[in-house]
Amino acid sequence: MTDFDLPEPIQAAIAAEAARALPREACGVLLGNMAEGSLQVTRHRPVQNDTVTSASYAIPGDVVLAIQREGEQDGMDVVGFYHSHPHGPAGPSPTDLEHALPGFLYVIADARTGMVTAWRLRDDRRAFEPADG
């Protein structure tokens, strides 16, 4: 992915969702389109965070599949995921690295400041890089 568009209204909605979820992490799925190395996020879909701890999130595979099917009806694919960090910062944690997959956009919101950042996992899966936007 060389370029992406994450519209300001979606960023603002994710930041607001992160603040409402305190002290837990908010999470969800990003829908959109990928063409010629450019990713367009057109919709975000909040997902209930049912994890036991307040410092993690999980999005079950069957939920992602249902959202994927929903998006296909409008010509969209799952292009990424988002979550919040209740105590900041809006950057990937070691746990985020452990669970991420290449090819997706990862958006992280600092629930306290409202800062929203976007990341992509390197192909070697050793680190995240800031996504170009």
pLDDT tens digits, one per residue of 71-115: 999 999 999 999 999 988 999 999 999 999 888 999 999 999 999
Scanning the structure block, which residue is given the tokens 């300001």? Answer: 8
Residue 133: what pLDDT?
56
Question: For the residues 13-26, what does the mean pLDDT come to?
Answer: 95
Domains of the chain, earliest start first: 3-130 (3.40.140.10)
Cite the beta strand spans of 7-104 per DSSP E.
27-35, 38-47, 77-85
| pTM assigned to the model | 0.93
CB 110 within 8 A of CB 102: no
Decide if 9 contacts 31 (C-beta within 8 A).
no
Nearest CA-CA partner of 17 in 113, 109, 81: 109
Cβ within 8 Å of residue 77, ≥6 positions away: 31, 32, 33, 34, 68, 71
Arithmetic mean of pLDDT, 104-130 = 95
The CA distance from 55 to 84, in Å, is 9
pLDDT exceeds 60 at position 1:
no
